[in-house]
Amino acid sequence: MKIFDGKHIKNIALLGAPKSGKTLLAEDMIFEAGITHRRGTVEGKSTVSDYHDIEHERENSIFATTMHTEWRDYKINIIDTPGFDDFVGEMMSSLRVADTCIMVVNAKHGVEVGTELIWNYIDRFSKPVIFAINQVDHPQANFEDALRGIKQRFGNAVTQMQYPVSQGEGFNEIIDLLKMTLYRFPPEGGKPEKLPIPANEKEKAERLHNELVEKAAENDEKLMELYFEKGTLDEDEMRQGLKTGMINREVFPVFCMSAKQNMGSGRMMSFIDNVAPSPQEAKPEITEDGKEVPFDTSKPTVLFVFKSHFEPNVGRLSFFKVISGEVNTATELINSQTGALERIPHLFIMDGKTRTPVDKLVAGDIGATIKLKGTYTNQTLHAKGHEITINPIEFPEPRIRTAVVAHSKGDEEKIGEVLHKIHQEDPTLLVKYSKELRQLIISGQGEMHLTVCKWYLDNVYQLHTDFITPRISYRETIHRPADAHYRHKKQSGGAGQFGEVYLKIEPYKEGMPDPTEFSIRGKEEIDLDWGGKLIFYNCIVGGVIDARFIPSILKGVMEKMEEGPITGSYVRDVRVIVYDGKMHPVDSNDISFKIAGMMAFKEAFMNAEPQLLEPMYDLEIVLPEEIMGEVMGDLQTRRSIIMGMDTKGNYQVIKVKTPLAELDRYSTTLRSLSQGRASFTQKMAEFAPVPYEIQKKLASKMQEAETV
């Protein structure tokens, strides 16, 4: 296969809301370039990009898929991304390595919530954008409304390049405003006939062409001077101005097409070749320490692994972008995160599941390899002696969680191993065994995200599971001081057990002074693993308890704090003052004082107005104004506290604080309420007191469980 230099490589990501037509557009592009000899369909399960069994089953993209075309001496690397926000990890990793984003917009629906969400990610990466208004052949298509919506939402940088002469079922002609040519497509699509612009369209086309000339000129001072001098610009000069505008994100070109009918993709591909920035023209990568890394073939080799995926009978595929230098088979590189040596055994160009071997890839290109020993998504490989770490992708926090229960006890360890492997491939799926909850918890981006995970466990790994509602990580604390004492005495022949402890507990607050009513002989300040503190005072005088038993009392207190008296949850923010007790010269030992300390703490805790705390999450919900009533009504049933409201483009933003206990499957509820037009992010905020009635119910459940 031909090796392309960095100037002749273009990396694009196809992005857009679900059902906007990204996968069919990718089919058109690789078909037009001759990579395939027929166009696949989603319904026929024959597309190059959606090739996984689960994608065939669901008829939508789950994974980002890399492909390529060779078009007029340029190589275009294409990444087809999922449209659902549940798979944002696939989208963000693709955005990271793309140099231009193709935002596909449905001509029937225009700018959708999915479009808005994706735009936020594009903004974060500051990437050039081309808009492709697709499905202009749909009976309810409205190109003008879609274009108007794009301009209203994304501003004056939106630049019209084309318009359809007619739309709907009769769509077959496009007027191109850069070339000032009419393209007429045959009924089966494909290569169009190039014709002069008809007289009845001439005035409109010239007006829009002049607007395009002005837009191209305003991005370059020399072009602006030339424009004032000549009154116009030629096609090459316009391309130069448009490229500068794209790189600076001051021009977002808009094309129109029907991917289903294969009409319009070839013209956009020619524009990508001629105008879209190459890696060498795009913004350089940034290292963890803030240094720029230009795409330069002469520099030492650096690869950034943006995606990993396990394929049965193949193993783990690692997809990477060559950041600098070049890579050959047998190249040895260092993983900057682990320090391990990796040898590149094979190099491939990927077209869906088809692997085409190549001997070399250069800076700016995208490729894949297999069987890396310990390198995963978001990691950097670099040449020996050239230490560098590319700034990793910051993936969003999870929005939904579930507990995983194995059908077979013997599968529990295997399930943990497989989930860990899935996390290495997909960093947006978090896996953790909670010692506190005694459950294996996975957290993801939405219901579909978890459904796909379960599908893989059941169908690929043959590990059958149930996903159930996870327990809540409550915390327990107290409202007021309380005293208690406990005598542990046990005699069963021979040496017995004896220990008696008097203690006082108090609520702890940061910065509070030490107690003054006792003589302090020792103090330990313990930062608890689960948050908060324990302050433990030894105030024993007169030797009533030997100093060697004080650590045992502390151990007993700590054990009870790990399984609090109300619900068995962790206890936090208390201080314990041990001030009196008794011991026996023969029967006292460590276990006796550990039990006495534990039971005295439990009694004091229950007398100190115990308070259950629950985790509260900050939610930011983005939604259309017309469904705010339904969403707000649902939030009120979830004990939510409205923190504020804002606007973001054409959408409203609701900021609330909601208990985690009320968020089970909230992503599913929100999707149902909004017909998929709303989204949210969540982040742990704080622990807050549980209402008395709810605390009472939870305590009763704990007591019932203990008596069973």
The token duo for 666 is: 């909230």
The token duo for 659 is: 């208990």
| 104: enclosing H helix or E strand | strand 100-106
Q: In the block, which residue shows the tokens 């424009």? A: 227
Residue 59 phi, psi dihedral angles, 5° rounding: 60, 40
Given a cut of 80, is residue 677 above it in pLDDT? Answer: no
Q: How far is 678 from 672, CA to CA, in rounded Å?
A: 9
**DSSP 8-state secondary structure symbol assigned to residue 258:** B
Residue 650, SS3 per DSSP: coil
Percent above pLDDT 70 for the chain: 99
Q: How far is 414 from 180, CA to CA, in rounded Å?
A: 62
Residue 255, SS3 per DSSP: strand
**Residue 489 forms beta bridges with which residues?**
498
Q: How confident is the model at residue 417 (pLDDT cuts 50, 70, 90)?
A: very high
- Fold (topology level) of 612-694: Alpha-Beta Plaits (3.30.70)
Q: How confident is the model at residue 706 (pLDDT cuts 50, 70, 90)?
A: low
The pLDDT of residue 485 is 96
Burial (Cβ within 10 Å: 0-12, 13-18, ≥19) of residue 540 = buried
Cβ contact 275:243 at 8 Å:
yes
The pLDDT of residue 253 is 98
CA dihedral 283, 285, 287, 289 (to 10 degrees): 0
CATH 3.30.230.10 fits 476-608, yes or no: yes
DSSP notation for 295-312: --TTSPPEEEEEEEEEET
The pLDDT of residue 120 is 86
CATH assignment of 6-197+250-274? 3.40.50.300
646-676: pLDDT as tens digits: 988 778 999 999 999 999 989 889 988 987 7
Q: What is the mean pLDDT of the chain?
A: 93
- Cβ atoms < 10 Å from Cβ of 79: 31
Angle formed by the axes of helices 666-674 and 447-455, nearest 10° = 120
CATH 3.40.50.880 fits 400-471, yes or no: no
pTM: 0.86
- Cβ atoms < 10 Å from Cβ of 148: 14
Given a cut of 80, is residue 251 above it in pLDDT? Answer: yes
**DSSP 8-state secondary structure symbol assigned to residue 470:** P
Q: How far is 406 from 462, CA to CA, in rounded Å?
A: 11
Task: Tell me the mean pLDDT in the region 23-51.
Answer: 92
DSSP notation for 147-200: HHHHHHHH-TTEEE-EEESS-GGG--EEEETTTTEEEE--TT-SSPEEEPPPHH
Q: How far is 58 from 50, CA to CA, in rounded Å?
A: 10
Q: How far is 442 from 435, CA to CA, in rounded Å?
A: 14
Task: Tell me the mean pLDDT in the region 214-238.
Answer: 89
Sign of CA dihedral 616, 653, 448, 125: negative
The pLDDT of residue 704 is 75
Closest CA to 502 of 584, 603, 573, 574: 603
Q: How far is 12 from 101, CA to CA, in rounded Å?
A: 6
Q: How confident is the model at residue 707 (pLDDT cuts 50, 70, 90)?
A: low
Q: How far is 239 from 128, CA to CA, in rounded Å?
A: 15
- Cβ atoms < 10 Å from Cβ of 296: 18
The pLDDT of residue 493 is 67
Cβ contact 608:481 at 8 Å:
yes
Given a cut of 60, is residue 708 above it in pLDDT? Answer: no
Q: How far is 537 from 580, CA to CA, in rounded Å?
A: 12
The token duo for 384 is: 């020996």
End-to-end CA distance of the chain: 70
Cβ contact 570:614 at 8 Å:
no
The pLDDT of residue 313 is 78
The token duo for 573 is: 């923010």
Sign of CA dihedral 684, 690, 691, 697: positive
Name the least confident of 166-180, 310-324, 348-362.
310-324
The pLDDT of residue 311 is 82
Decide whether 6-197+250-274 matches 476-608 in CATH topology: no
| 221: enclosing H helix or E strand | helix 221-230
Whole-Å CA distances, 496 to 169, 491, 580, 582, 592 = 93, 5, 21, 15, 9
155-199: pLDDT as tens digits: 999 999 999 999 999 999 999 999 999 999 999 899 999 999 999
Q: Where are the domains of the chain?
A: 6-197+250-274, 285-382, 400-471, 476-608, 612-694
CATH class of 285-382: mainly beta
Q: Pairing mode, if any, of strands 360-362 and 315-324?
A: unpaired
78-112: pLDDT as tens digits: 999 999 889 999 999 999 999 999 999 999 999 98
Sign of CA dihedral 318, 424, 60, 127: negative
Sequence letter at residue 599: M
Closest CA to 12 of 98, 127, 133: 98
The token duo for 355 is: 């692997």
Q: How far is 196 from 181, CA to CA, in rounded Å?
A: 6
The pLDDT of residue 182 is 97
Q: How far is 432 from 442, CA to CA, in rounded Å?
A: 6
Q: How far is 533 from 576, CA to CA, in rounded Å?
A: 11
The pLDDT of residue 113 is 76
Q: How confident is the model at residue 4 (pLDDT cuts 50, 70, 90)?
A: confident
